[in-house]
């Protein structure tokens, strides 16, 4: 297996002011050996994509509780693609209704985690998916 550390950007798009979950997930991912960058609150899609590009991340994880996921999540994805980062593993979490989960997954989000998801499940998913991607490409992402 590739010993290269997984680099993850955890971001809070929009005006959502609650970040306890995002900080908890970031901490758990670090505990699993990943390099984690947390952008803080009130990030625009452009700011998130720019940080992802500058930090050369493998994964972008978005967290939202405000209900604006159907407008903000696709905008983040578009900004990533615009910067040549369409191959980044894109995940998210928060309060997202099931129908919206299906729509977002069809738009390129690999996995969306709801409230109460065990954080170990998130870490194991990221590790397994990155191992699968690296094996398939013979390198990063």
Dist. CA 32–CA 12, nearest whole Å? 21
Q: Is the pLDDT of residue 138 over 90?
A: no
Per residue in 48-106, pLDDT tens?
999 999 999 999 999 999 999 999 999 999 999 999 999 999 999 999 999 999 999 99
Over residues 30-38, mean pLDDT: 98
DSSP 52: H
**At CA 73, angle to CA 19 and CA 96, rounded to 5?**
65
User: How many residues are present in the chain?
Assistant: 141
Q: What is each CA distance from 3 to 79, 108, 115, in whole angstroms?
A: 29, 26, 31
What residues does each domain of the chain span?
A: 7-137
Which helix (H) or strand (E) element contains residue 71? helix 69-82
Per residue in 91-120, pLDDT tens?
999 999 999 999 999 999 999 999 999 999
- Predicted confidence at residue 102, as pLDDT, reads 97
Out of 3.40.50.280, 1.10.260.40, 3.30.360.10, 3.40.190.10, select the CATH number for domain 7-137.
Answer: 3.40.50.280
């Amino acid at each position: 297996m590739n010993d290269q550390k997984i680099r993850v950007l955890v971001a809070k798009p929009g005006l959502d002011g609650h970040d306890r979950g995002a900080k908890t997930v970031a901490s758990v991912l670090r505990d699993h050996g990943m390099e984690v960058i947390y952008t803080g609150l009130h990030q625009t899609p452009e700011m998130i994509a720019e940080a992802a590009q500058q930090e050369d991340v493998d994964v972008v994880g978005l967290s939202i509780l405000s209900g604006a996921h159907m407008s903000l999540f696709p905008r983040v994805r578009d900004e990533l693609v615009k910067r040549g980062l369409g191959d980044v593993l894109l995940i998210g979490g928060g309060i997202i209704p099931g129908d919206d989960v299906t729509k977002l997954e069809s738009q390129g989000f690999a996995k969306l985690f709801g409230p109460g998801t065990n954080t170990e499940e998130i870490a194991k998913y990221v590790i397994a998916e990155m191992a699968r991607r690296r094996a398939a490409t013979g390198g990063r992402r």
